[in-house]
């Protein structure tokens, strides 16, 4: 199962509140592409698709499609505001390679 840290939850909730859409959830997925073969994808979503896994992290609904769920198993989504870790980061212990910017990977 994918994990979302408290820091990432707080940031997503803040972004949703700033947009005036606090009721939306977060969609996490994996798509083909990028220099290493697979890319992380995240977006706001009104509701889950019929086959989505629906997770709750501190009141934030997170939607993951079945194919992405397999690849995102054990992945942690975090958010940092430091000099070297600013923004959202996916930590994937199963990734064999990743590109320099950290948005694409292979397993």
Q: What's the rounded Cα separation, in Å, for the pair 63 and 76? A: 14
**How many domains does one find in the chain?**
1
pTM of the model: 0.86
CATH code of residue 43: 2.60.300.12
What is the residue range of 28's domain? 3-106
- Ranking 5-9, 38-42, 92-96 by mean pLDDT, the lowest is 92-96
Q: What's the rounded Cα separation, in Å, for the pair 10 and 51? A: 26
The confidence score (pLDDT) of residue 90 equals 87
The confidence score (pLDDT) of residue 97 equals 63
User: For residue range 33-59, what is the model confidence (pLDDT) as tens digits?
Assistant: 666 578 889 999 999 999 999 999 999
């Amino acid at each position: 199962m994918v994990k979302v840290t408290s820091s990432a939850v707080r940031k997503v909730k803040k972004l949703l509140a700033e947009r005036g859409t606090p009721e939306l959830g977060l969609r996490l997925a994996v798509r083909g592409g990028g220099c290493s073969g697979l890319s992380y994808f995240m977006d706001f979503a009104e509701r889950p698709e019929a086959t989505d896994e629906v997770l709750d992290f501190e009141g934030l609904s997170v939607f993951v499609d079945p194919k992405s769920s397999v690849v995102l198993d054990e992945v942690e989504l975090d958010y940092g505001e430091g000099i070297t870790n600013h923004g959202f980061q996916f930590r994937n212990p199963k990734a064999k390679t990743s590109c320099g910017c950290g948005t694409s990977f292979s397993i």
